[in-house]
């Protein structure tokens, strides 16, 4: 699963139940693996295994705090929202 070739999420990925308002994460294996791959490309190391676990939630929160400068990270990557767009931009930049 280390070579995920998707560029978009089908549903939110991350902490359930969601700590704030918004759609509840579905955490499909494909979406989770994509987020894991993107986090790794952003320098936040997490296993790429398609499992949404405590390590992934902490990695998402770390990204939200260190890169997005969020004061209250929720541990969720939403479809086409700020965190996902930033992760995608970082990956695109690294791809050349």
Around Cβ 20, how many Cβ atoms within 10 Å? Answer: 9
Separation of alpha carbons 48 and 3, rounded Å: 9
Nearest one of 17, 11, 66 to 35, comparing CA atoms:
11
Separation of alpha carbons 81 and 39, rounded Å: 15
Q: What digits encode the pLDDT tens for the residues 32-87?
A: 999 999 999 999 999 999 999 999 999 999 999 999 999 999 999 999 999 999 99
pLDDT at position 8: 86
CB 11 within 8 A of CB 30: no
Backbone angles phi, psi at 76, to 5 degrees: -130, 135
């Amino acid at each position: 699963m280390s070579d995920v070739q998707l560029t978009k999420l089908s549903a939110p990925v991350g902490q359930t139940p969601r700590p704030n308002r918004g759609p509840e994460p579905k955490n499909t294996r494909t979406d989770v693996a994509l987020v894991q791959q993107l986090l790794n490309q952003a320098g936040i190391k997490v296993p790429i295994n398609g499992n949404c676990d405590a390590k992934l939630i902490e990695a998402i929160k770390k990204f939200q705090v260190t890169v997005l400068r969020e004061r209250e990270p929720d541990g969720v990557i939403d479809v086409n929202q700020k965190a996902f767009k930033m992760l995608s931009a970082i990956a695109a930049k690294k791809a050349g």
